[in-house]
Amino acid sequence: MAQIKTVNPATEEEIASYDMMSEREAFDTVEACHKAFLDWRGKTHEERAPYLKKIAEALRANKDELAELMTRETGKLLKDGRTEVEICAAIFDYTAEQGPKVLADEERTHGKGKEGLVSYQPIGVIYSIQPWNFPLYQPVRVLAANLMAGNGCVLKHASICTGSGLRLRDLCLEAGLPENLFSVLLIDHDTSDKIIEHKRVRGVTMTGSDGAGRHIGAKAAENLKKSVLELGSNDAYLVLEDADIETAVKFSVMGRLYNNAQTCVSAKRFIVTDKVYDKFVEAFVEQMKQIPMGDPTDGDTKLGPLSSQEQLETVADQVKKSVEKGAKVLCGGEAADRKGAYYPATVLSELAPGMPAYDDEIFGPVASVIRAKDDEDAMRIANDSRYGLGGGIFSQDQERAKKLARDHFDTGMIRINSFGAADPNMPFGGVKDSGYGREHGGFGMKEFVNIKAVFMP
């Protein structure tokens, strides 16, 4: 029987092994989820809310255990794991509190003042395909929204964090969630495609690379099923001519290295206007050089290992190819000579189209610094990307920065003079090759519902 093996990327030691499901077992899991959904859909939003509150309580009660598990499986800093658990609990709380209002029936009129009703009705089993960089947060943002909407959910998690996915399921059950309403599938890619085709699956949501998103999106469309895709990006952070350099450097370092630099919405390209280029780069490189890399369980560590040896090799190859095409290494640039998937904080300059560090997403601690002639040129370069997830602007004129963000930045999310990953009350998602659909902010609760119109005579 095929197995999934999880490995600690900091020590290269095997953690656990899991038997993969047969196609029949996977299909039976989907059928069981559908059966559980048929009961769950009959509850009101107000009746569903306490279940979500209890899951939030269970997450907080097991915060240290969950953080330690995520650190073992993915190498994320232990303190970041604790923060992730709290974010997940907050998402369940927010969804429980706001869901009944967001999904409430709406009274409308039709014709010449006749009564009409718009109702947001659940549709069935939602298939959630999630990556490893946030082992709890990625599945939770789908799960919370769809439980409130009245749907069931089956999760195919990244294999390297299988334990985290299964522990989330167990905690939901311990918190009182009906059995089979949320299940985890331990399956390969071929079986996954068949799950998308399964008649009980009514929607597909996936977070991952744009390449994987194309495949999942095409398979869902082929089967006439709605999909939500949250894909990669090479988010640009603009350092404008009037930027406060100290602020820009502080949040640029934070934005590039958060979660061991493995975040879809992290700062990756730093587009710096000529007027402040030298000052910013000097200070930025100096701080990146000083980042302590090491054991993710050590509170003094600022940069842990990448999630796997495979990920380390991918990042190293992207840097190598960029340098071969003319990029200049200002610091870092070589994998650490030690056990574990460690890659140092790296800054590259002299970048141009055609280089991985300019065109693509580097899912690791590599910052791409690009010189712009002026503010207008910086905005042009930022939008000159096939991606459009997030971005940022550093400027002391916050009103102007807000206008640039609102009217000109071609992405789904923009930070001004700051950095952050996600907030339950703000929509999360992108445009272009970064995908489509939105999560959080109430928007995710309406992605997989039947928006039903009822016309009264």
Per residue, the 3-state secondary structure of 334-349, as one string, reads CCCCCCCCCCCCEEEE
Q: What's at 361, amino acid-wise?
A: E
- Report how far residue 205's alpha carbon sits from residue 80's, in angstroms, rounded to the nearest whole number: 25
202 to 98, 120, 191, 358, 398: CA distances (angstroms): 24, 15, 17, 38, 43
128 to 121, 143, 168, 185: CA distances (angstroms): 19, 8, 14, 10
Strand order in the sheet with 415-416: 328-331, 346-349, 366-372, 269-273, 236-239, 391-394, 415-416
On whether the CB atoms of residues 272 and 303 are closer than 8 A, the answer is no
Token pair in block for residue 81? 């794991």
201 to 37, 57, 197, 217, 366: CA distances (angstroms): 11, 29, 7, 14, 39
Q: Say which residue the tokens 């071609």 belong to.
A: 410
Report the candidate in 414, 319, 310, 307 with the shortest Cα–Cα distance to residue 362. Answer: 319
List 273's β-bridge partners, or say none.
372
| Residue 282: other Cβ atoms inside 10 A | 12
Q: What's at 443, amino acid-wise?
A: F
Residues 6+ positions from 457 with CB-CB distance below 8 Å: 114
Residues 6+ positions from 316 with CB-CB distance below 8 Å: 335, 343
Which residues participate in catalysis according to the annotation? 230, 264
